[in-house]
Amino acid sequence: MPYQSNLSLKDKVQLFLFSIFVSTSDKTHLELKDSGFLSYEILPDGSNGFIPKKDLPRIVLSQFSDPQISNENQKIKVISVNRLLAEKVGQIINVAGGNLTLIEEEKGLDLDCLVSTKKKTTTSVKIARVFNCQTEKLGEDNAFDIVIKLGKSFEKRF
């Protein structure tokens, strides 16, 4: 055999079957080195390689948007113990197609992550799953459809 592997025969067969039945017609191939996202540099170990630049190009970001989240157009508010943390989470929500409306900083939030929503939607469920948050019902009188609270514990694990 030309290479070593720690996969069992069963795993190899499953991988083979998976590769046969998965269609590649709906896949997008992006050459990140041609997108302007990566720069070719000398790495800290002395070898040559690619380093990501600060901002992602729109073509890359568009591959991660979720049409269901975009179509729901939920007004989202993020409350966090740290404004920078809220902005980073907000960027992820925006890339996914969410409508981040407001960021607030609230020191002393002694919780992990909480997604409050008026009604269970695809957007609220996906946000809760991505960030591993608890969920709760939000009062109908709230101006936002979804309120995300990011506390001290979330800051440590993010």
Return per-residue pLDDT of the chain as tens, 158 residues. 456 778 888 888 888 887 777 766 666 676 766 767 778 888 888 898 888 776 666 666 666 788 899 899 999 999 999 999 999 999 889 888 899 999 999 998 999 999 999 999 999 999 999 999 999 999 888 999 999 999 999 998 88
Query: Looking at residue 1, what is its pLDDT?
Result: 46
46 and 104 inside one domain: no
117 and 50 inside one domain: no
Query: Looking at residue 72, what is its pLDDT?
Result: 93
Work out how many domains the chain is built from and give that number: 2
Q: How far apart are CA 56 and CA 94, in angstroms?
A: 13
Query: Looking at residue 26, what is its pLDDT?
Result: 67
94 and 117 inside one domain: yes
What ranges in 47-145 are assigned the alpha helix state H?
58-62, 67-72, 83-96, 122-130
The last residue of a domain, from among 40, 63, 86? 63
Q: Which domain holds residue 139?
A: 66-157
How would you classify the pairing of strands 146-150 and 75-80?
parallel
Residue entry with tokens 């890339």: 95
Query: Looking at residue 14, what is its pLDDT?
Result: 83
The last residue of a domain, from among 46, 63, 80? 63
CB 134 within 8 A of CB 113: yes
27 and 42 inside one domain: yes
CB 151 within 8 A of CB 81: yes
The last residue of a domain, from among 9, 37, 63? 63
